[in-house]
Amino acid sequence: KQEVTQIPAALSVPEGENLVLNCSFTDSAIYNLQWFRQDPGKGLTSLLLIQSSQREQTSGRLNASLDKSSGRSTLYIAASQPGDSATYLCAASNQAGTALIFGKGTTLSVSS
Amino acid sequence: GAVVSQHPSRVICKSGTSVKIECRSLDFQATTMFWYRQFPKKSLMLMATSNEGSKATYEQGVEKDKFLINHASLTLSTLTVTSAHPEDSSFYICSGQDRGRSGELFFGEGSRLTVL
Protein backbone atom coordinates (compact mmCIF):
# COMPACT_ATOMS: atom_id res chain seq x y z
CA LYS A 1 0.00 0.00 0.00
CA GLN A 2 1.32 3.41 -0.96
CA GLU A 3 2.63 5.58 1.84
CA VAL A 4 3.68 9.18 1.43
CA THR A 5 6.03 10.98 3.80
CA GLN A 6 6.90 14.65 3.88
CA ILE A 7 9.92 16.24 5.50
CA PRO A 8 10.18 18.61 7.24
CA ALA A 9 6.86 18.87 9.04
CA ALA A 10 7.38 22.59 9.50
CA LEU A 11 9.73 25.16 8.04
CA SER A 12 10.33 28.83 8.79
CA VAL A 13 12.34 31.01 6.43
CA PRO A 14 12.92 34.72 5.85
CA GLU A 15 11.42 36.34 2.80
CA GLY A 16 13.43 35.95 -0.38
CA GLU A 17 14.96 32.61 0.46
CA ASN A 18 14.82 29.69 -1.93
CA LEU A 19 13.59 26.48 -0.34
CA VAL A 20 12.94 22.82 -1.00
CA LEU A 21 10.15 20.66 0.36
CA ASN A 22 10.65 16.93 0.28
CA CYS A 23 8.23 14.11 -0.40
CA SER A 24 8.94 10.38 -0.48
CA PHE A 25 6.71 7.50 -1.46
CA THR A 26 7.03 3.77 -0.92
CA ASP A 27 5.58 2.42 -4.15
CA SER A 28 7.47 3.68 -7.19
CA ALA A 29 4.75 2.50 -9.57
CA ILE A 30 2.92 5.79 -9.37
CA TYR A 31 0.55 7.19 -11.95
CA ASN A 32 0.39 10.83 -10.88
CA LEU A 33 2.03 12.91 -8.22
CA GLN A 34 0.43 16.20 -7.21
CA TRP A 35 1.51 19.04 -4.98
CA PHE A 36 -1.16 21.08 -3.23
CA ARG A 37 -1.34 24.14 -1.08
CA GLN A 38 -3.77 24.39 1.82
CA ASP A 39 -4.43 27.56 3.77
CA PRO A 40 -5.81 27.23 7.33
CA GLY A 41 -9.43 26.09 7.34
CA LYS A 42 -9.56 25.99 3.57
CA GLY A 43 -9.65 23.41 0.82
CA LEU A 44 -6.83 22.38 -1.46
CA THR A 45 -5.33 24.31 -4.33
CA SER A 46 -3.56 22.18 -6.90
CA LEU A 47 -0.09 23.55 -7.61
CA LEU A 48 1.59 21.06 -9.90
CA LEU A 49 0.82 17.67 -11.39
CA ILE A 50 3.60 15.36 -12.52
CA GLN A 51 2.65 12.34 -14.56
CA SER A 52 4.69 9.16 -14.22
CA SER A 53 6.38 9.75 -17.59
CA GLN A 54 7.54 13.22 -16.57
CA ARG A 55 10.48 14.29 -14.45
CA GLU A 56 9.46 17.81 -13.53
CA GLN A 57 6.88 20.54 -13.87
CA THR A 58 7.22 24.28 -13.44
CA SER A 59 4.74 27.01 -12.68
CA GLY A 60 6.03 30.47 -11.92
CA ARG A 61 8.31 30.31 -8.89
CA LEU A 62 7.46 26.68 -8.29
CA ASN A 63 9.26 23.67 -9.66
CA ALA A 64 8.41 20.09 -8.80
CA SER A 65 10.58 17.13 -9.66
CA LEU A 66 9.87 13.42 -9.67
CA ASP A 67 12.37 10.59 -9.30
CA LYS A 68 10.48 7.33 -9.33
CA SER A 69 13.56 5.16 -8.90
CA SER A 70 14.38 6.75 -5.58
CA GLY A 71 10.76 7.27 -4.59
CA ARG A 72 11.14 11.02 -4.17
CA SER A 73 9.63 14.28 -5.27
CA THR A 74 10.72 17.77 -4.36
CA LEU A 75 8.93 21.10 -4.53
CA TYR A 76 11.27 24.01 -5.06
CA ILE A 77 10.02 27.49 -4.21
CA ALA A 78 12.13 30.35 -5.46
CA ALA A 79 12.31 33.76 -3.83
CA SER A 80 9.80 32.94 -1.12
CA GLN A 81 7.21 35.52 -0.09
CA PRO A 82 5.04 35.88 3.03
CA GLY A 83 2.06 34.96 0.86
CA ASP A 84 3.61 31.54 0.34
CA SER A 85 2.94 30.72 3.98
CA ALA A 86 0.64 27.69 3.99
CA THR A 87 0.70 23.91 4.33
CA TYR A 88 2.03 22.09 1.30
CA LEU A 89 0.76 18.60 0.65
CA CYS A 90 2.24 15.95 -1.59
CA ALA A 91 0.01 13.16 -2.87
CA ALA A 92 0.44 10.17 -5.16
CA SER A 93 -1.91 7.89 -7.04
CA ASN A 94 -0.96 4.47 -8.33
CA GLN A 95 -3.43 3.98 -11.13
CA ALA A 96 -5.68 6.00 -13.35
CA GLY A 97 -8.99 6.50 -11.64
CA THR A 98 -7.70 5.86 -8.13
CA ALA A 99 -7.52 8.22 -5.21
CA LEU A 100 -4.54 10.26 -4.13
CA ILE A 101 -2.71 9.19 -1.01
CA PHE A 102 -1.53 12.19 0.95
CA GLY A 103 1.48 12.95 3.07
CA LYS A 104 1.04 14.85 6.32
CA GLY A 105 2.25 18.06 4.79
CA THR A 106 4.91 20.67 5.42
CA THR A 107 3.75 23.86 7.09
CA LEU A 108 5.73 26.76 5.69
CA SER A 109 6.06 30.15 7.33
CA VAL A 110 7.76 32.95 5.43
CA SER A 111 8.56 36.02 7.50
CA SER A 112 8.89 39.51 6.09
CA GLY B 1 -8.09 24.41 -13.40
CA ALA B 2 -11.43 22.67 -13.15
CA VAL B 3 -13.86 23.73 -10.45
CA VAL B 4 -15.41 21.61 -7.76
CA SER B 5 -18.06 23.22 -5.60
CA GLN B 6 -18.81 21.87 -2.15
CA HIS B 7 -21.78 22.87 -0.01
CA PRO B 8 -22.29 23.73 2.77
CA SER B 9 -18.93 25.13 3.79
CA ARG B 10 -19.89 25.04 7.46
CA VAL B 11 -22.61 23.17 9.28
CA ILE B 12 -23.48 22.76 12.92
CA CYS B 13 -25.92 20.08 13.96
CA LYS B 14 -27.17 18.29 17.05
CA SER B 15 -26.19 14.76 17.95
CA GLY B 16 -28.43 12.21 16.33
CA THR B 17 -29.35 14.25 13.30
CA SER B 18 -28.21 13.67 9.71
CA VAL B 19 -26.26 16.08 7.56
CA LYS B 20 -25.86 16.04 3.79
CA ILE B 21 -22.84 17.51 2.02
CA GLU B 22 -22.92 18.10 -1.71
CA CYS B 23 -20.01 18.00 -4.12
CA ARG B 24 -20.46 19.26 -7.68
CA SER B 25 -18.09 19.38 -10.60
CA LEU B 26 -18.97 22.62 -12.37
CA ASP B 27 -17.08 22.44 -15.63
CA PHE B 28 -16.24 18.81 -16.14
CA GLN B 29 -17.81 15.41 -15.79
CA ALA B 30 -16.55 13.44 -12.85
CA THR B 31 -17.28 9.76 -13.23
CA THR B 32 -15.27 9.24 -10.08
CA MET B 33 -15.28 11.38 -6.97
CA PHE B 34 -13.39 10.84 -3.75
CA TRP B 35 -14.36 11.80 -0.22
CA TYR B 36 -11.70 12.64 2.32
CA ARG B 37 -11.75 13.52 5.99
CA GLN B 38 -9.22 15.75 7.70
CA PHE B 39 -8.70 16.05 11.43
CA PRO B 40 -7.12 19.23 12.85
CA LYS B 41 -3.48 19.54 11.85
CA LYS B 42 -3.60 16.13 10.20
CA SER B 43 -3.47 15.03 6.61
CA LEU B 44 -6.34 13.95 4.43
CA MET B 45 -7.61 10.43 4.93
CA LEU B 46 -9.51 8.78 2.10
CA MET B 47 -12.96 7.68 3.20
CA ALA B 48 -14.52 6.34 0.03
CA THR B 49 -14.49 6.31 -3.74
CA SER B 50 -17.73 7.29 -5.40
CA ASN B 51 -18.50 6.06 -8.91
CA GLU B 52 -21.37 7.45 -10.92
CA GLY B 53 -24.24 5.00 -11.09
CA SER B 54 -22.78 2.41 -8.74
CA LYS B 55 -22.17 1.82 -5.07
CA ALA B 56 -19.33 3.59 -3.37
CA THR B 57 -16.21 1.75 -2.28
CA TYR B 58 -15.32 2.44 1.33
CA GLU B 59 -11.88 2.35 2.93
CA GLN B 60 -11.21 0.01 5.78
CA GLY B 61 -12.60 1.31 9.04
CA VAL B 62 -15.15 3.65 7.46
CA GLU B 63 -18.73 2.74 8.34
CA LYS B 64 -20.76 2.62 5.15
CA ASP B 65 -24.06 2.83 7.04
CA LYS B 66 -22.94 5.96 8.81
CA PHE B 67 -21.41 7.76 5.85
CA LEU B 68 -23.84 7.34 2.98
CA ILE B 69 -22.50 8.27 -0.41
CA ASN B 70 -24.58 8.78 -3.51
CA HIS B 71 -23.26 9.62 -6.97
CA ALA B 72 -26.40 9.92 -9.04
CA SER B 73 -25.02 12.03 -11.87
CA LEU B 74 -21.74 12.84 -13.57
CA THR B 75 -21.56 16.15 -11.76
CA LEU B 76 -22.92 15.48 -8.28
CA SER B 77 -21.92 13.29 -5.38
CA THR B 78 -23.35 13.58 -1.88
CA LEU B 79 -22.10 12.47 1.52
CA THR B 80 -24.68 12.06 4.27
CA VAL B 81 -23.46 11.70 7.83
CA THR B 82 -26.23 9.81 9.61
CA SER B 83 -26.94 9.87 13.34
CA ALA B 84 -24.17 12.37 13.80
CA HIS B 85 -22.01 12.15 16.89
CA PRO B 86 -19.54 14.71 18.23
CA GLU B 87 -16.65 12.47 17.12
CA ASP B 88 -17.87 12.92 13.54
CA SER B 89 -16.92 16.59 13.78
CA SER B 90 -14.28 17.11 11.15
CA PHE B 91 -13.37 18.74 7.86
CA TYR B 92 -14.75 16.79 4.91
CA ILE B 93 -13.34 17.40 1.42
CA CYS B 94 -14.45 15.97 -1.88
CA SER B 95 -12.54 15.74 -5.12
CA GLY B 96 -13.43 15.01 -8.68
CA GLN B 97 -11.23 13.45 -11.28
CA ASP B 98 -11.12 15.07 -14.68
CA ARG B 99 -10.00 12.29 -16.97
CA GLY B 100 -9.64 14.80 -19.75
CA ARG B 101 -6.79 16.43 -17.83
CA SER B 102 -4.51 13.48 -17.28
CA GLY B 103 -6.51 12.29 -14.34
CA GLU B 104 -5.75 15.35 -12.25
CA LEU B 105 -7.85 15.64 -9.12
CA PHE B 106 -9.56 18.89 -8.23
CA PHE B 107 -10.81 19.55 -4.75
CA GLY B 108 -13.76 21.33 -3.26
CA GLU B 109 -13.36 23.96 -0.57
CA GLY B 110 -14.32 21.52 2.13
CA SER B 111 -17.14 21.34 4.66
CA ARG B 112 -16.55 21.93 8.35
CA LEU B 113 -18.97 19.78 10.36
CA THR B 114 -19.49 20.44 14.03
CA VAL B 115 -21.73 18.09 15.96
CA LEU B 116 -22.92 19.37 19.30
Largest CA distance in chain A: 42
State the pLDDT at residue A63. Answer: 98
State which residue of chain A sits closest to B31, comparing Cα positions. A97
**CA gap A36, A24 in Å, rounded:** 15
- What digits encode the pLDDT tens for the residues B20-76? 999 999 988 888 899 999 988 788 999 999 988 888 999 999 999 999 999 888 899
A17 CA: distance to closest CA in chain B (Å)? 25
Residue B1 has pLDDT above 70, yes or no: no
State the pLDDT at residue B30. Answer: 86
Amino acid identity of residue B105, one-letter, is: L
Residue B100 has pLDDT above 80, yes or no: no
**CA gap B67, A2 in Å, rounded:** 24
Please give the mean pLDDT across all residues of chain A. Answer: 94
Smallest Cβ–Cβ distance between A49 and the set B6, B91, B104 belongs to B104
Contact B111, B26 (CB under 8 A): no
Please give the mean pLDDT across all residues of chain B. Answer: 91
- What digits encode the pLDDT tens for the residues A41-72? 888 999 999 999 999 999 999 999 999 999 99
Q: Is A77 helix (H, G, I), strand (E, B) or coil?
A: strand
B112 CA: distance to closest CA in chain A (Å)? 8
* Residues of chain B positioned with their CB less than 8 A from the CB of A34: 104-105
Q: Determine phi and psi for B86, rounding to 5 degrees.
A: -50, -30
Contact B108, B56 (CB under 8 A): no
Residues from B contacting A (CB-CB < 8 Å) are: 1, 6, 32, 34, 36, 42-46, 49, 91, 93, 95, 97, 99, 102-110, 112
B18 CA: distance to closest CA in chain A (Å)? 23
Contact B114, B17 (CB under 8 A): no
A105 CA: distance to closest CA in chain B (Å)? 7
**CA gap B56, B49 in Å, rounded:** 6
**A46·B105 Cβ contact <8 A:** yes
Smallest Cβ–Cβ distance between A89 and the set B43, B99, B103 belongs to B43
